[in-house]
Amino acid sequence: MTLDGFRDQIDRIDDELVDLLGRRLHIVREVALAKKVSATPVMQPARVIEVKRRCRERGSRHQLRGEFIETIYQAIIDEACRIEDDLLRG
C-alpha cells in the first residue's frame, strides 16, 4: 500500500473516532439531564474507575499501553464533566 493509501485509512478512522466521541458526548448530555432530575452529583468516582479499568483491559487486547488509554479517557471524562456541569448550572 502507498503512503497516501495509509493516510486515507487513517483519515477514515479519525472520522469514525470523532463521530463516536460526538455520539458519546451526546449521551453525556442526556445523562446530565437525568442527573439534574434525580439530583445526582456529576462526578461519580466509582464509575470513572470502572470505565478506565474496562477500557485499559480492552486496550491491552490491541497492544495499547495502559497509560495511553488512561490519558485518553481522562480527557474524555474531563470533557464529559464540563458538559454536565454546564448543563446542570444552566
Amino acid code (one letter) for 46: A
Lowest mean pLDDT among 17-31, 37-51, 64-78: 37-51
Kindly state the average pLDDT of the residues 21-39: 95
- Residues 67 and 87: their CA atoms lie apart, in Å, by 30
- Residues 45 and 74: their CA atoms lie apart, in Å, by 12
User: Quick count: other Cβ atoms within 10 Å of Cβ 80?
Assistant: 21
Total structural domains within the chain: 1
Report the candidate in 65, 89, 84 with the shortest Cα–Cα distance to residue 24: 84
Helix runs in 1-90, H state only: 3-38, 45-61, 66-89
- Supply the range of the domain harboring residue 73: 3-89
Residues 1-21 have pLDDT tens digits of 999 999 999 999 999 999 999
Sort residue 23 into left (φ over 0), alpha (ψ -120 to 50) or beta.
alpha
pLDDT value at residue 90 = 74
Write the DSSP symbol of residue 39. T
Q: Indicate the pTM of the whole model.
A: 0.90
Residue 54, pLDDT above cutoff 80: yes
Kindly state the average pLDDT of the residues 37-54: 94
CATH number at residue 18: 1.20.59.10
CA 68 from centre of chain: 13
pLDDT value at residue 52 = 97
